[in-house]
Amino acid sequence: MNLTIREALLAFRRAPLLSALSVTTIAFSLFVVGLFGLVAVNLQDALRGVAERVEIVAYLLPGTPIESITLAEKDIEAFPEVQSAVYVSEDSALARARAELVEFRDVLQELERNPLPASIEVRLKPRFRDAEHVNDVAERLRGFGFVDDVRFGRDWVEKLDRLRQIAAAVGLVVGAAFAVVAIIIIGTTIRMAVLQRSREIAIMRLVGATNDFIRRPFLLQGAIKGMLGGLVAVGLSYAAYSLINRWLIQAAFFSHAQALAIVGFGTLIGLFGSAASVGRHLRRV
């Protein structure tokens, strides 16, 4: 077996308690980051669900020829922001109203003439569901001669925008704070591991070990601890998610990529934390 790997594994065997403590510390630090991540992921899901309802309706002037409408529908669907454009005729608008507004069925039944205009309902692609793009598309729809009026919940879209900005800012700040705290805690843990072996390091140097040689097992060990900590953190997050899902609300869990990112983050902190601790130690003695 490679010497670096052997030495790294030996360290786990020789100091099982400290190793377990390091892994646990890393796991809990990352677990806190993970919990926050879960909240962020679910908040984002919720916002996306709300944004799904963003819709622009272009009401058409009565008597617009169906050919023009079909052409316009094609044009609109070709807008880069647009996901779908659906023509709703006067008749189907009425039919929908009858189905949806059961209380008014009688009134609607007795109508001599259909008062509802035909319309084109436009949905935007997910990444364009914000005030700026909605306004933009609405403006372009107004440009069609046979469009009478364009409606979308302006206030509502703007509020959604603001909510998204706040969520992103809070997420960034709190997430970064948690990550920094995790890095500090993990760094301290790794420092303990290095100090515990300072006598050994001194002896290694005495017999002519290069700094690289001394460093390598520590880096590997740190990366392994970080990875294990990350895996445990994902496991804990999953447990927390299961509980929440069962007793509180329907929530979402990390995607595979996000779970992998947590483990990767742990591995990197372990690696760089070790590099920093050993580096500092080697420079001082």
Partner 1 sequence: MIKFTNVFKAFPKGGLALKDVSFHIAKGEFVFLTGHSGAGKSTVLKLVYADEPVTSGEVRVSGFNVAELRPRDVPMLRRRLGIVFQDFRLLEDRTAEENVAFALEVTGARRSSLPARVMRVLTQVGLAAKGQAYPRELSGGEQQRVAIARALVNEPSVLLADEPTGNLDERATRGVFQLLRDINASGTAVVMATHDLDLVRQAPYRVIELQEGALVYDSSVDEPRDQAATP
- Using the 8-state DSSP alphabet, how is residue 114 labeled? -
* Neighbour tally for 85: CB within 10 Å: 20
Contacts (Cβ under 8 Å, ≥6 apart) of 238: 253
Q: By C-beta, is 196 or 245 nearer to partner 1?
A: 196
In the complex, the smallest distance separating the C-beta of residue 201 from partner 1, rounded to whole angstroms, is 11
In the complex, the smallest distance separating the C-beta of residue 204 from partner 1, rounded to whole angstroms, is 6
Determine, following the binding rule CB under 8 A, whether residue 170 of this chain makes contact with partner 1.
no
Tokens found for residue 10? 């030996």
Radius of gyration of the chain (CA): 30
Q: By C-beta, is 36 or 213 nearer to partner 1?
A: 213
Q: By C-beta, is 14 or 162 nearer to partner 1?
A: 14
Rounded to the nearest 10 degrees, the angle between the axes of helix 198-206 and helix 154-196 is: 60
What would the DSSP string read from start to end of 149-177?
Answer: EEE--HHHHHHHHHHHHHHHHHHHHHHHH
Determine, following the binding rule CB under 8 A, whether residue 172 of this chain makes contact with partner 1.
no
Q: Which of residues 210-239 bind partner 1 (CB under 8 A)?
A: 210-211, 213
In the complex, the smallest distance separating the C-beta of residue 182 from partner 1, rounded to whole angstroms, is 31
Determine, following the binding rule CB under 8 A, whether residue 191 of this chain makes contact with partner 1.
no
Q: By C-beta, is 203 or 260 nearer to partner 1?
A: 203
Q: By C-beta, is 248 or 285 nearer to partner 1?
A: 285
Tokens found for residue 56? 């622009």
Question: Which parts of this chain interact with partner 1 (CB under 8 A)?
Answer: 3, 14, 200, 202-211, 213
